[in-house]
Structure 1
Amino acid sequence: MSRANVSAEQLKLFIERIETLEEEKRGIADDIKGVYAEAKSNGYDVKTMRTIVRLRKMDENARAEMQALLETYKSALGLEG
């Protein structure tokens, strides 16, 4: 896109939309931190909860592959059980 084709108003609107979304993202991140803090104050292990959230996001096949590899590594290191 050449400089002549750049619409200052359109560019400004894109930038403002991005800034608004970034602000909302920060707010959501703060909300998530608050939920983890609340869970921690109720005795839950936040590190484990984060792992569970990450696992639930994964595709079932990817999760199974990761679990199999983890078991293989644990076995190789004598960590079964």
Structure 2
Amino acid sequence: MTDNVSAEQLRQFIERIETLEEEKRGLQDNVKDVYAEAKGTGFDVKTMRGIVRLRRMEKHHRDEADALMETYRQALGLH
């Protein structure tokens, strides 16, 4: 591979990454707008973020987290 080809390939990778980062920022702004809209209609955004996080988890990981939370609640008398 010549230096020109390597430089061109690198430039193309960098430009693709920059484009994707820009798209990601746009999507993050859209998500932020949806949360703001939900908050405006009375939903609790913190709880919604927790639900979104839980839905991304595999069931067995979610079950483990639930069991651990229950154990900690019991240990602290939070029932």
| TM-score above 0.5, yes or no | yes
Q: Which AA in structure 1 matches 2:65?
A: M
Q: Which AA in structure 1 matches 2:29?
A: D
Q: Counterparts in 2 of 1:1-81, with a 5 A limit? A: 7-80=6-79
What are the superposed Cα offsets for residues 27-54 of structure 1, whole Å, 9 maximum, x if unpaired?
0000000000000000000000000000
4+ residue segments displaced more than 4 Å = 3-6
More helix by share: 2
TM-score of the pair, normalised by structure 2: 0.93
Give 5+ residue unaligned stretches, structure 2: none
Aligned length: 78
RMSD after superposition: 1.6
2:77 counterpart SS class: coil
Aligned-pair identity (%)? 68
CA distance in 2, matches of 1:51, 1:11: 39
Q: Which AA in structure 2 matches 1:15?
A: I
What are the superposed Cα offsets for residues 19-77 of structure 1, whole Å, 9 maximum, x if unpaired?
00000000000000000000000000000000000000001000001001100000000
Instruction: Please state how far the C-alpha of 1:8 moved relative to its aligned partner.
Output: 0.8
Q: Specify whether residues 33 and 23 from structure 1 end up closer, same or farther in structure 2 by C-alpha distance, changes over 3 A only.
A: same
CA distance in 1, matches of 2:58, 2:4: 43
